[in-house]
Each structure stands twice: as structure tokens, then as C-alpha cells.
Chain A
């Protein structure tokens, strides 16, 4: 069930009405309803994998309690590693087994040995990377005595399976989400209106921006030999907007939907394309994953405390692992590594700006220097996207080498003017709203009701007008 499908348009109001009217504010019933709805939502993808989700939930639930109750450090460690290894084992089998088997076979072949490993014809269970990381953070936090285990199985299951975040995040933390699940929730008008507005903007990003960029991107990347360098750059620029519109759109819909149920999820995007350096970009892009890696990998590895070379090593490790998290392919690994390399100069020169505020905060326009920095950062990011989006490394090399050929100076092929205008309008709205949680959060709040309604209706009609005639899968579902 896609967020941009008719099915979800029916599912959401039903659950919303049952949640606020059917449960009469009874927290227990509300959570049971959320759990049942979430399992139904997941089963609509593939009911067989529901059992995997339930098993993973049960595993972390029990190992969490066992760790807490363990009388010795050894037993605590045992339960901890049991949970970690089973969780990563599932992820390894479903997501990475074929990659390792094929890579090993190719390596052996390169040195003269012929190996024929079994490859598995398995489907990747949707959301496995996300809910596994949910579970891992919970187990690690208990092991590190940061939190106590949750004893209420329903509450814990809702934490893992809450349908807005189940298949593509944001990757939540127990410390943030569980207290909200346990707290009594009452309908909040402002929160719900805000949620609905964010859903609307998320749908716009997904349907109007991402889905309309997709066909051009597919055309260019499916045939890297067939287009001029200028078309390659345009293709990868459109891909940047596709992947941003798609994933941040999904996150907006997830956050907005959760708000309708009185729950605030972690923010996942904060206008990454207005970043002034790649470090800032990664603090604004897929924030819940970046912070997950920071807290559960970078800091345990020593973080920034061990000198320049350790910082470089740790940075490269987390970016490479982060790339690998996206998928079992060398393109993702290299993409991650490239982004790690982007950070290295600022570590070596010790001049990390650490921008906290969005660019030109409190002003209307950025300075020329800021514009320059934004464009350089964007250029670096889309350069790495050439690898990320390519089918394999061979295609990536072709794509990159053609991008820097003399055909760069020709007119891009197949350019669709309406799409360029859409992107310009989109970026203007994003710029106007960049100090808020999402771009249209405060747009129109001071207008009269009629104008505000007209503004929202324009977005609604744009969604219907530009909607492709088939539901397009969210890009990040494959991860």
C-alpha cells in the first residue's frame, strides 16, 4: 500500500476515525488499533514477511528484557549478541548474501579459481533495513543502560511497526518514540492541521516533483552510452530532485500521518540542497540514518576524539557502511566512500564550519559566497549520485566519462520545459519556507481563509494534474 495510492486514501481516514472515535481515548485500545493497522498495512505488501517482522519484534522484546534481568555481564553480553547477530543475520541473508557470494566468486575467478556459489532467489522484505535498525538501536540502548526495556509488548510492537515509519523510516529511537506511545494522547487541532498540511506537501514532492523527474532519469541512466554529456548532467540533476522529492516527500507524509495520531516523529530532511558544504548536507539529509550511524557506529569507533587520522578513518567507515546500508551493490559502497572523502579535506584543514542554522537565516537572500558554496556542494553531491544511480560500476564509469566529454557543451536532449519550471517553483517555495520544519508550514497562515484554501487546492490540483497514470513506488523502499 503506497502512500500515494487510492488504497491509502481509504485506509488512513478509516484508521483515523476509529482511532479518535472508536477507542474513546483509551490508550490501550489506541495502541492495539495502531498495531493491528500497522500489521495490516505491512501485510498489504507481502503478508509472508509479516512473520519476519513479528519474529524480529519478539526477538528484540525478549532479549531486551533478558539483558536487563541478566545477573552477570556475560549473560547480558550473550543476549545482546544473540539479538545483534540474528537481526544482522536476517539482513545479511535477505539483503547481502547474493552480493557477497557473487563478489567472492568474481574475486576467485580473477585469480584463476572457479567458484560457483549458490545464489538465493529471495525478495527483499520491504522495510527490513529500517525496522532492523529500529530494533538494533533499542537493543544497544538497553545494553548500554541508556534505557530500560519496555515490558508492554503492544507498546513495543507499535514502536517497531508504527505504519507511517514502517517501510522507509524515519529510523526512530526508543527514547523519542516509546514515551509518546505510552503517553495519553488527545486530539490536537493544530497538530492535526499541521499533519495534514505536511502530508499535502509530501504528496506534492513525491507525485509532482519526483515522479515527473523519474521518466527522464530512467531514460538517461538506462542508456549511458546513448546521450551527450550535457544530458548526463541534466539527468543526474533531475535524479537529485527525484530522490529528494521522493524520500523527503515520503518522510513528510510519514511525519504528517503520525501527527494525525498525536505522535511526532523525528525529522528526516532539512533542506539539504541549501547546504554550504557536504558536512552540512549530511546533517540535513536522511537525518535519522546519519544520526543513527553517528551514535551507534562513529562514536563507538572513537568518534572525533582520537586525532585527525582516527577521525578520517571513522568518517570513511561510517560513510562506506552507510552506502552499503542502501543496497548490496558496489555503486552504493563507492557512493558512500566518495561522500566520506568529501569530508576529509575539512578534517585535514580542521576548518569544519559546523553550520547549524539554515543558510541566510533571517534574511531573504544568500550572499554571493553562500550561493557559490551551495552550488559547489550540490555539484559534488550530484557527482556522487552518478555512481549511486548507475546500474553498476561499468555504467557509472561510462556515465562519468561521457559527462566530462566535449558533448557537455551541446544542448541537452529531451529536455521538458514544464519540468524545469516545476523545479524552479518548487525550489522557490522550499527557499521561502526553509526556516520551517517543511516548506509550506507557515505559508498562508496569515492569509484569509479563502486564499489559504485556494493555495491548498492549487497544490491538490497540481498533484492530480501531474500524477503519472500508475502509482510509482517510493525510491527508498528498495533499501
Chain B
């Protein structure tokens, strides 16, 4: 029995040890080049950009969907686009950005529809990568319980990726998804000059599960905290492919209905941000330059109108 337990223990102990070593290893060269590595840059924008400011919080729909220069020229506010990857989860986006919000800031939050269903908003592998590769690893233990439960299964895969030769040698990084794809405001711009040669497959349904009630509560709390800091929060909708929108109409209408019933200040409508296929880059949420121009114009109109109504200059 002792021999059996000892040998079983080897088999049980070695994998967690390997995972631990993987976690402790520094970020790989590939990870250092990936778009998630833009987090420190975006954090520094949040820290150093001067007032008056307008902060955009969202996932990749903002990353690949805004021309901040247009916003700046029109609103005369310094824009900060914090969008990177939806896989970090909206909970993290709110919790991580809130400490940087200052008095007088205008914050525009856009939740991709997928964030609102199931546990997508709790984050996934990208959240782990942001924390362990590009932030303080101790942040992991400050995550919400639901985020911890969602992300811990990704630990083995993340840790094992540190041992893959492809992470270190002959690195091929798509420039569109590189940390160098950004302009000075945090907008991904490299793809503005390139075309995506494949058809964008529409979403048939927003998968994941039921409407995330906890996220809605967290949005309301986030609004209260932003207001308490003397800033203003507007919630808007992401750009979304027409076919995907048609397929997911009921789910999107439900999100809209639930948001409207809160005390959040909602700007625009889901329909307003629907885009045709020729405005898409590579997913139903990612826009090419044509799409970016339209989305920026519409968002600007909505923000302007809301600020005017609220007496914000």
C-alpha cells in the first residue's frame, strides 16, 4: 500500500509542480508581443493622460472599433481606449479601470453582447495572461470568487504554454494582433490598412447560458462608484454584424430591456450600431476602417448629446 501511495503521489505531485514552474516563468517572447501586452501601455495612459478625459471601456469591439482622434477633435477631451480582448471579461475591465477614473472623467462603457450571457464576463485564459504576463500576479488573488472559479481551469494550459518552443523560437506574430498595433490613444490601427480575405461567419446565437444577473448588478455598482468619484458613466452598445444581430435579436432585445430598467444612463440603441459585412474586419464585433468611421461617428453623436443633456463640457 505504501509503495502504491508513494508512486501515485509522484504522478499527482509532478503535474502541479510543472504548472507552478510554468506560472513562475517570465512571460514568453510570444506573449510579450501579443496584443494583451498592451495592458501596461493602456494603464499608463489611464495614469498619465491629462484632464479633460474620456475613457472607453470594452473588449475588442472597442479595440478594433474606434478612431479616438475624431473624438478628441470633436469633444476636445483626451481619449483613452482601454479595449483589448473580450476574453479578459467585463468584470475585470470594470474592476481594473475603476481605480484610474478621476473626477471630471467621462467614461463610456460598452459591453459586447456575449459578456451579458453565461459566465463570459468572468474572463478566461486571456484574463490569466493579462494578470500573469502583464500585471502583478498577486492580482489573481484579488479577483472575484466567480472569476477565480472560471479562470483556474485555464492555469494548466497557460503554464504548459511556457514550455512550448513555438513561444520562444521563430515567432510569427500577426501585426494586427500585436502590442504594436496601437496609436497613441490605444486604438488598434494596423488593420485599418489591411483587408481580411475571409468571410466573417455570423454568430447564430449568443451561447454561454442565461443572462448574467451578477454582471448587471456589477454594472449598477460600477456606475455608483464612478459617480462617487465625480465622474460620469455612459453605457452604450457594441458594433455588431447585421446577420449576427438578426440571429440574436431576441437576446439583444432582452439585454437592452434589462439595461433600460436600471438607473444606468444608456446612450444609443443596439440597432444603431449594426453594421454591414463590408464594414467588418475578421469577426462580427471587429471593424475595418469604414466600420470604425461609422461607429465613431455614431458613438460621438450619442456621447455629445448625452453630455449636452447632462451639462458636461
Contacts and interface: CB of A to CB of B under 8 A. Distances in A.
Interface of A: 20, 187, 189, 192-193, 196, 453, 456-457, 460-461, 464-465, 467, 469-470
B175 interface: no
Q: Label chain A's interface by main secondary structure.
A: helix
Contacts of A192: 4
B156 A464 contact: yes
Contact of B153 (A20, A461, A469): A469
B15 interface: yes
Contacts, number: 39
Contacts of A470: 153
Interface stretch (B6-14, B102-110, B294-302): B6-14
Nearest to A460: B15
A192 B1 CA distance: 9
B153 A467 contact: yes
Contacts of A461: 15, 18, 160
Nearest to B154: A469
Interface in B1-33: 1, 3-4, 7-8, 10-11, 14-15, 18
Given A189-B3, A460-B15, A465-B156, 17 more contacts: A20-B1, A187-B4, A189-B4, A193-B4, A193-B7, A196-B8, A196-B11, A457-B15, A460-B14, A461-B160, A464-B156, A464-B157, A464-B160, A465-B157, A465-B160, A469-B154, A470-B153
Nearest to B118: A470
Contacts of A20: 1
Contacts of B125: 469
Contact of A469 (B15, B124, B160): B124
Contacts of B3: 189
A463 to B, nearest CB: 9
A189 B1 contact: yes
A224 B156 CA distance: 35
Contacts of B18: 461
Interface string B150-190: 00011011001000000000000000000000000000000
A469 B10 CA distance: 25
Interface string B239-274: 000000000000000000000000000000000000
B313 to A, nearest CB: 46
Contacts of B154: 469
Contacts of B153: 467, 469-470
Nearest to B19: A464
Nearest to B8: A196
Interface core residue of B4, B125, B153, B156 (most chain A CB under 10 Å): B4
Contact of A456 (B4, B11, B160): B11
A204 to B, nearest CB: 14
B249 to A, nearest CB: 19
A273 to B, nearest CB: 29
13 contacts: A187-B1, A193-B7, A196-B8, A196-B11, A453-B11, A453-B14, A457-B15, A460-B15, A461-B15, A464-B160, A465-B156, A465-B157, A469-B153
A469 B128 CA distance: 13
